[in-house]
Structure 1
Amino acid sequence: MSAPEKEAAAVRGRAPGGAAVRSRLRGYAVFGLVAVLLLVVAPLALPAFRLDELAKYLCFAIAALGIGLAWGQGGMLTLGQGVFFGLGGYAMAMYLKLQDAGGDLPDFMVWSGVEELPALWKPFGSPVVAVAAVIVVPVAIAVVLGTLVFRQRVRGAYFAILTQALAAAFVILLVGQQGLTGGTNGMTNFYEFFGQDAEAESTQRTMYFVTAIVLGVLYLGARQLVKSRFGRLLVAVRDGEDRVRFLGYNPATVKTITFAISAGMAGLAGALFVPVVGIISPSLLGVVPSLELVVAVAVGGRYALAGAILGAVVMNYAKTSFSEEWAGGWLYLQGALFILVMTLAPKGAVGVWEQVRDAVARRRAVPDPAAAAPKVKEEVPA
């Protein structure tokens, strides 16, 4: 292509790389629109109760973002994300219960007959330790688990079953430690959150903004990670792990790092969930809640980070709405939706939108045969 032709193509928006620039600009525009909806429109339009519900959905969206990174980009189907969600949630709950107790034993320990604060609880009297543990503990456990599992080249269904078993074991452990974790009931009745009334409308509104901003920052960070060299290597591991190994890279390290980042996101989501909803219990962390997050990511589109967030928000909103009218049948509807998506639209809602958009673009690109036919100049007889 000559210089004048390149200049003309740039003016028409078809210069080399122009499509990527336009796609990036559209991405920023969509992100800005969603940010305005969440940070401006929703707080003004929704009542306090519905705004609290939306904050809860955004907490699940943070955990789903981690699943989208691990499963959609790295090919690691994790069915035990509730473990890391619970670790972050319990770490925050332990600090809040000690803050409410004011130096005494938390209420559920008194009911359980505990006479002295357990040694495991004592460090969580510090907010610095509690906030650090929200991320450090899930990441550390994910690193240990990933190092042991991925070096043995455990992947696919075996890795999924392993994480599912971990979630089931975690719930059994929490339920069995009544005096340490609150047992089946978990922890609730948080009255103070970093010096503020935890039940006040102003505090709940602040928590909504914090959750929305954290989700936006994590999305931008994950998006940048996917577009980086590490992200391209992660996708290469997903599509051909053995080939990546033959090229001299260590897929176990790549997958462990990604798994740890996903766990950290889930831990942070659990920590935000506690002050937003006011409870953390084993029923929120087991196999079923973990599977629901995976279903939400699949419905939204596991290959796109935005799809994972969209799926989490839409599915949890649908769960709330349908459960109010059809409490016993929601799980059947959710299972049927998952089957339909995986069979008819493996890329989820975002994938369907991309297919429609590409089809429209291809149709517009096909020239009209009548318009493309060369015109024959009529000869005037002498």
Structure 2
Amino acid sequence: MSVLTSPKARVWGGFALAAVLLFGVAPAVLSDFRLGLLGKFLCFAIVAAGIGLAWGRGGMLTLGQGVFFGIGAYAMAMHLKVADAQLKGQDVPDFMQIAGATELPGYWRPFASPAVAIVAILVLPALVAFLLGIGVFKRRVKGAYFAILSQALAAAFAILLVGQQTIGGSNGLNRFRTFFGFTLADPANKRMLFFIAAAVLLLSVALIRQLMNSRYGELLVAVRDQEERVRFLGYDPATIKLVAYVVAAFLAGIAGALFVPIVGIISPADVGIVPSLAFLIGVAIGGRATLLGPVLGAIGVAWAQSAFSESFPSGWIYAQGLLFVVVVGFFPAGIAGLVTLVRRRRSPSAAAEPGVAASAAADVPEPVKVP
């Protein structure tokens, strides 16, 4: 095997190609508006990368990622609103002034500090996922029950936000003017946000790849396929699941924080059941158990929604549902799994192994055999 065709070289080559496309080609060929849209899609892709680990490798159908996305987003939004008010010499943000408030609520005050806001973005989603996961996985809640519980959590979170007028209620938080001292109206700063999102996405994919290819990744797949045997061998499946769940929440929180300055608004409509399902649809279509499938699926579905809605505003939801049904019904491994299946069937060596094609068609990757 030559150095250029080794697995390590292909990995580095893939990251190099992605970096060229994101940092060189995209800014050169896309307008500022389209580049902003792509930045928004990259935020969704970061969430999808975490879902790929938790659902694709761990078998946890996470229907509530909008919660962790929303925690990170609201933490960032609260800091930006306080910072904007301070620049104007005001004590409270503009929407609070309209409501007649004269001082910040107590839980808003820490977010005046950029350091506190960044720590909250990084820690709070992971902490909430950790506490929830401890209660769920230690009680061996899994399958449909876990999916329903996570979806109910997303619904409850959105309802809670609607009732909190001190964080914008149903209107959410918007009209941000600065981002850590940089003016958001400046096109150069908007491009900077895109580059930050692109860098975070590449780092997220690298993190997920490292986890998937490690001993932990093998244990995660083993827990998905043979949980009782893993427990019999002395491992705690709850802890293994918990790590994947927390990592997925951590990435979702960062994605939400980047979403706020890129898009310019965060509201309960962005964190409830519908957005959580949209994250999942992109992952399923792309190929949930592969490394790049969730990322490309999330970007592709978001792009299709934007393009389709421009021509047929009311028809996208039907097209999205049809696409999801077709993929789940006929290509359960997603588009990435279909590509893998075609490639393996064309290979004589793979055709001689009937188990390989069956595994690719059913659900990638092959189960880990626990002795």
TM-score (norm 1): 0.89
Residue of structure 2 equivalent to 1:379: none
2:157 alignment partner, one of 170, 175, 179: 170
Residue of structure 1 equivalent to 2:129: 142
Structure-1 separation of matches of 2:157 and 2:133:
17
Structure-2 separation of matches of 1:159 and 1:237:
15
Q: Deviations over 1:29-86 (max 9, x none)?
A: 2222122111101111111111010000001100111111110011110101000000
1:84 alignment partner, one of 64, 68, 82: 68
Q: Deviations over 1:279-318 (max 9, x none)?
A: 1111111100100110000000000121000001000000
1:211 alignment partner, one of 194, 197, 213: 197
Once the 2 structures are TM-superposed, how far is the Cα of residue 363 of structure 1 from its aligned partner?
A: 7.7
Residue of structure 1 equivalent to 2:120: 133
Residue 158 (str. 1) matches residue 133 (str. 2): no
Q: CA RMSD in A?
A: 1.7
Once the 2 structures are TM-superposed, how far is the Cα of residue 364 of structure 1 from its aligned partner?
A: 9.6
Residue 231 (str. 1) matches residue 217 (str. 2): yes
Once the 2 structures are TM-superposed, how far is the Cα of residue 23 of structure 1 from its aligned partner?
A: 3.6
- More divergent stretch after superposition (355-364 vs 197-206): 355-364
Q: Which runs of 5+ in 2 are unaligned?
A: 353-371
SS in 1 for 2:6: helix
After superposition, where does 1:1-382 map in structure 2 within 5 Å? Answer: 22-102=6-86, 103-178=90-165, 180-362=166-348
SS in 2 for 1:142: helix
Structure-1 separation of matches of 2:351 and 2:180:
58
Once the 2 structures are TM-superposed, how far is the Cα of residue 269 of structure 1 from its aligned partner?
A: 0.1
The code of the aligned residue for 2:75 comes to A
The code of the aligned residue for 1:186 comes to G
Once the 2 structures are TM-superposed, how far is the Cα of residue 254 of structure 1 from its aligned partner?
A: 0.9
Structure-2 separation of matches of 1:257 and 1:150:
11
The code of the aligned residue for 1:65 comes to A
Once the 2 structures are TM-superposed, how far is the Cα of residue 24 of structure 1 from its aligned partner?
A: 3.7
TM-score (norm 2): 0.91
Structure-2 separation of matches of 1:91 and 1:346:
36
Residue of structure 2 equivalent to 1:371: none
Once the 2 structures are TM-superposed, how far is the Cα of residue 218 of structure 1 from its aligned partner?
A: 1.1
* Residue pair 2:344, 2:350 contacting (<8 A) in 1 also: no
Q: Deviations over 1:194-223 (max 9, x none)?
A: 111112101100000011011101111110
